[in-house]
Amino acid sequence: MSRTSRSLWIKAIRKCDGRCWFCGLEAKTIDHATPRSRGGRNSIDNLLPACVYCNNLKGDMTISQFRKYVKALLVRKMIETGYIWGGLGGLVVIFYGEGNTNPLRY
């Protein structure tokens, strides 16, 4: 598979004004929403700006799988730190690129 062209890379980074689509921090990489290992293409519709941490954490997961993974990490951390309240099943993970302008909101 070919690498992403520079022009596509720049367009992808600009999607969120240079911020990571997942957490809102500075994006230094791009990620494939549908991973290339799962048939995802190097098209602007499949490319998302990402910080190195989120890109590495997501790996070859789909967006849906990554959302579930992030939710599990958050719940685990809340339990470990004693920050527990009723209704953890109702916890919703909204990524920065989906309109969450405050990544620390959750």
pLDDT in tens, 32-72: 999 999 999 999 999 999 999 999 999 999 999 999 999 88
CB 31 within 8 A of CB 21: yes
CB 76 within 8 A of CB 83: no
pLDDT in tens, 64-93: 999 999 988 888 887 777 766 555 667 777
Q: What is the pTM of this model?
A: 0.79
C-alpha Rg value of the chain to the nearest Å: 15
SS3 state of residue 30: strand
Q: What is the CATH topology of the domain spanning 6-98?
A: DNA Binding (I), subunit A (1.10.30)
Residue type, 40: G
